[in-house]
A and B are shown apart, each in its own frame.
Chain A
Amino acid sequence: MGGRDTDIVLLDENGIRSDGRKVNETRKVTIKAGVLKNANGSAYIEFGDNKILVGVYGPRDVHPKHMSDTSTGILRCRYHMAPFSVGERKNPAPSRREIEISKVIKEALEPAVMLKGFPRTAVDVYMEVLQADGGTRCAALTGASVALADAGIPMRDLVAGCAAGKAADTVILDVNNEEDQAGQADLPIGYMPNLEKITLLQLDGVLTPEEYKACLEIGIDGCKQVYEIQKKALQEKYFSTGDDKNG
């Protein structure tokens, strides 16, 4: 991650990034809730050029039975990239990276979901990356929260995701793929906006203590912006009269 030679200008003299954004601007985010027919809840999210489809099933029976918990429902997450989602075709079998990201997203959602009321069941969250362009785990997490709410899974809060980072010695918000490859740090964050808790945090790169604080601050602000889009997606589906479809 980071530091590869490139002739892309990451930040020009006017403070404009390679894709035309300012340092504290996120890419364009759009979310649509309830896009799949079979899944209990679903969401489609475009975060910049990332395109991710999330489906939720549950609460439902756990198989094999020994994996179920008699005192609570369990959350299972799968982050998976389609073979055609990245530059060089990816083998469909799960990679170690996907397995790790699945776990990290699960642990970002667990503080939000309330499954004690559904003992012996599982809630399955499946995130499919159809096109990747840096920051897929934050986008997948964002979509997953919307899909869980769409499925009616009780939650303490939504979880919004956005990464902060550093490129050309400057703290930036929402690192895209180019910036991830050629930049100096990438800090994905998952945040519950009403409870004000960070539930996903990772770092690739080197940050001074000041840069770290600045990244957290700008990243949380990015998450709050993303949360507004999550809210809008749910309001559009459930609260606009006349075009309601059923969950």
Chain B
Amino acid sequence: MSHDKNRHVIPGEVITTGSYRSEQNTFTKGDKIISTVIGLSDVRDGSVRVIPLTGGYVPKDDDLVIGKVVSHSAMSWQVNINSCYEGMLPASDIFGRDFSSHSDDLTSKLDNGDLIAARIVNADKTRDPLLTISGRELGKIDSGELMYISPSKVPRLIGKRGSMIQMIEGATNANVTIGQNGLLVIACDDSNGLIKAINAVELIEEQAHVANLTDKVNEMLESKSE
């Protein structure tokens, strides 16, 4: 069985057999390592995992995410982070430790529909993930173009050590904030640059799995805008 190349797999398909460590999106049955999702198998260093081509975002500690405020209680905001769990942003994160639900009005800072760039503080699944917006590049998002891509394509959009997204920002003068949860905001003063950046993101999402993607994106960015 050839297992040194990445292979397309669907749930239930055997990726390989033998003594391998079963990692993300796989399980073992006897000596078979089996995929649990649609994706690309990745066998290396004695372990097997599958890179999924579909599926939602699963919150992880320290991830940067973009969320939309959908409601609030007396002490916190509930934030839609495009995941099976809703994020929770405590009021004290903005108002400070002396926050008092009597004198401090939550909607004065964040109201329903507001977008925020936040970091996940604690993604323990027994409770809703805890968020914070105190930090560099975090906080309410007032302007820009919001886009959604499949969370599984985010790594491709960022590129190795940020190479892909930096290439796009350089060519368009845009500033892109990418959430690990598949939401991103493109801020650009130049409307042509904005359109180019949007097209680049759409191209990457469509062809994330295709081989010479970097060249294609480069070509697209360098072509004259119509």
Contact = CB atoms under 8 A, between A and B. Distances in A.
Contact of A244 (B10, B11, B13, B209): B209
A75 B1 CA distance: 35
A235 B8 contact: yes
A152 B8 contact: no
Contacts of A41: 54
Interface of B: 8, 10-14, 25, 27, 29, 34, 36-38, 52-56, 58, 84-86, 125-126, 149-150, 152-153, 205-207, 209-210
B56 A59 contact: yes
Interface stretch (A13-21, A95-103, A153-161, A171-179): A153-161
Given A155-B36, A156-B27, A150 B54 contact: yes
Contact of A194 (B13, B149, B210): B13
A58 B56 CA distance: 8
B52 to A, nearest CB: 6
Interface stretch (A24-32, A83-91, A118-126): A118-126
Contact of B37 (A149, A193, A194): A149
A121 to B, nearest CB: 5
A121 B128 CA distance: 11
A195 B34 CA distance: 10
Contacts of B53: 238, 247
A234 B38 contact: yes
B54 A156 contact: no
A119 B125 contact: yes
A194 B85 contact: no
Contacts of B10: 149, 158, 231, 234-235
A158 B12 contact: yes
A241 B55 CA distance: 19
B55 A151 contact: yes
B84 A58 contact: yes
B12 A247 contact: no
Contacts of A158: 10-12
Contact of A239 (B8, B11, B86): B8
